Amino acid sequence: MLKAVFFDLDGTLLDTVPDIMACVNVSLKKFGYPEISYAQTCSYVGDGAKLLIERALPAACPDVDAVYEDFRTRFATDDAAHTRLFPDEEPVLAALKEQGIKLAVITNKPQDAAQHVLARFFPEGLFDFIGGDTGMFPCKPDPSLARYAALKLRVSPAECAFVGDGEPDARVARNAGMKGISALWGYRSRAQLEGAGATCFAADFRDLQKILEKLF
């Protein structure tokens, strides 16, 4: 029986790439490196902010730590002017909440940036747990943070669904013993997700709602 739904953030709950790209490019320009494109940003996100910066910089770049810290500090308070919700997302999340399903966010995004952007786009109390990268747990696809969230919410992993648009999300669902649902509205293709072992797919939030309701 489904008792909780865990969501990835970037590309799953919010379309954040335009603002991520803008913040990365400010830092790259500040340190004298070439800017990255929208397509590059889409391909670089998903594995944490540090890896995002490493991918955006030339190989063996000596300035990774400095550029990362500059980006992380700026991104934590970014106004998210170009970030947006996905179609039908708000009513679906509200319906899940009304049905007593616990909602959580498990993201490789830095914790302060995750809390900041979620507070702007979602009502207080919608999510019962928000877990980002604090350095306490390894990033996805390691299952430690997802399992910790289940423990805090007093549910078993088998009673949780994990929804995400990236390869780490498909893998963390399997690693944590949760029902994995891959979101096709994000930054990865179905073929890429299948390559990561995904077997269940949602085309949009209404489709996701139908899949989840079968697990109640």
Instruction: Map out the domains of the chain as residue ranges.
Output: 4-15+83-213, 17-75
Q: Which one, of 172, 151, 125, 85, lies nearest residue 161 by Cα?
A: 172
One pLDDT digit (tens) per residue for the chain, 216 residues: 999 999 999 999 999 999 999 999 999 999 999 999 999 999 999 999 999 999 999 999 999 999 999 999 999 999 999 999 999 999 999 999 999 999 999 999 999 999 999 999 999 999 999 999 999 999 999 999 999 999 999 999 999 999 999 999 999 999 999 999 999 999 999 999 999 999 999 999 999 999 999 998
CATH fold of 4-15+83-213: Rossmann fold (3.40.50)
State how far Cα 106 lies from the chain centre. Answer: 6
- pLDDT value at residue 104: 98
Count CB-CB contacts under 10 A for residue 118.
Answer: 20
Q: How far apart are CA 37 and CA 19, in angstroms?
A: 12
Q: How far apart are CA 181 and CA 23, in angstroms?
A: 30
State how far Cα 214 lies from the chain centre. Answer: 24
Name the residues annotated as catalytic: 8
- pLDDT value at residue 103: 98
Beta carbons of 39 and 17 less than 8 angstroms apart: no
Beta carbons of 93 and 5 less than 8 angstroms apart: no
Strands of the 179-183 sheet, one edge to the other: 129-133, 102-110, 4-7, 160-164, 179-183, 201-202
Q: Which one, of 213, 5, 14, 196, lies nearest residue 109 by Cα?
A: 14
CATH-assigned architecture of domain 17-75: Orthogonal Bundle (1.10)
- pLDDT value at residue 216: 84
- pTM for the predicted model, two decimal places: 0.95
